[in-house]
Structure 1
Amino acid sequence: MAQTPMPKMIFVNLPVTDLDRSIAFYESIGAARDPRFCDDSAAMLRFSDTIHAMLLTHARFSSFTERTIIDAHKSAQALLALSVENRAGVDAVIAQATQSGGTADPNPVQDHGFMYSRSFADPDGHIWEMVWMDMEAAMAGEPATEAAA
């Protein structure tokens, strides 16, 4: 019997200085912890069926690479982006991230009519962008209307 192929998934591995604080932060912005993949050095947080963040203590993260863990408060290695359903959702996630110990808008707000994004830095300085896009307007090359938002 043929096995059903696994869907394409992403697991973003992030080094964190305080695992419990990071778990609480990501749960506050809507990620769900998967206890099957959690121990005292790692925790998997699920944003969707295909998008996950693996929070790893520095010691655990270092077991995967010999490269130096950067101070994400001072350096950027990646900008991670997640889509939300509407413009208000962008602002809501940023507000919740700020309330939960994150920093709002470490990068400039982007508002192109058909696309709106803002960013937050988690307590370890990792930058996430929340993005809403009106795909029909983007494909047509037209500005979005508030009705689409």
Structure 2
Amino acid sequence: MAIQAEQTFINMSVKNLDKSRTFFEQIGFEFNENFSDNNAACMIINSQTFVMLLGEEFFQTFTKKSVADSTKMTEVIIALSADSREAVDELVNKAFAAGASPSGDQMDHGFMYGWSFQDLDGHLWEVAYMEEPELPLE
């Protein structure tokens, strides 16, 4: 039997919760206030996927391991799909305007287009659009 989670919560350490929340609001994300407080902010990716922005000290209470410095190491790359090439560019350009840094060059493979950025804490985000394959006519 395959495991299927009802919802996905990605927990992410941030140095300054207020600045991180403002950054993601500026690029268009909303937050669930029922799961947000002075230690955490619940960012909505879609109805079943959330990113928990956790202040670094609060994040540390969930693990006995050291918290990675995401400005020097990559612990994860979060990839988001977009519904068009223009939507990819719009989101990444909003991120840059809000203070993000480039992560990689735009990639264009014809059927797939993407671009990436680093958020204020150095976490890597990729945004991609992939054309749906045409189904053969029957």
Counterpart AA for 1:107: G
Q: Deviations over 1:85-135 (max 9, x none)?
A: 10011111111000001112x124321110011101100000010010002
Q: Does 2:33 match 1:38?
A: no
Distance 2:15 2:7 in 1: 25
Q: Does 2:121 match 1:116?
A: no
Equivalent residues in 2 for 1:1-149 (5 A)? 8-104=6-102, 106-136=103-133
What is the RMSD of the two structures over their aligned residues, measured on CA atoms? Answer: 1.8
Counterpart AA for 1:101: G
Deviation at 1:59, TM superposition (A): 1.1
Contact 1:84 1:130 in 2 (8 A): yes
In the alignment, which residue of structure 2 is the partner of 1:3? Answer: none
Give unmatched runs, 5+ long, in structure 2: none
Distance 2:29 2:11 in 1: 14
Distance 2:125 2:46 in 1: 16
Counterpart AA for 1:100: A
Give the aligned length: 133
Are the structure 2 counterparts of residues 58 and 92 from structure 1 closer, same or farther at C-alpha, using a change threshold of 3 Å?
Answer: same
Q: Residue 127 of structure 2: SS of its match in structure 1?
A: strand
Distance 2:105 2:7 in 1: 29
Q: Residue 135 of structure 1: SS of its match in structure 2?
A: coil
Contact 1:42 1:54 in 2 (8 A): yes
Give unmatched runs, 5+ long, in structure 1: 1-5, 141-149
Contact 1:7 1:50 in 2 (8 A): no
Contact 1:103 1:120 in 2 (8 A): yes
Deviation at 1:7, TM superposition (A): 6.7
Percent identity at matched positions?
34
Q: Higher strand share goes to which structure? A: 2
- Greater CA drift, 122-131 or 70-79: 70-79
Distance 2:50 2:61 in 1: 20
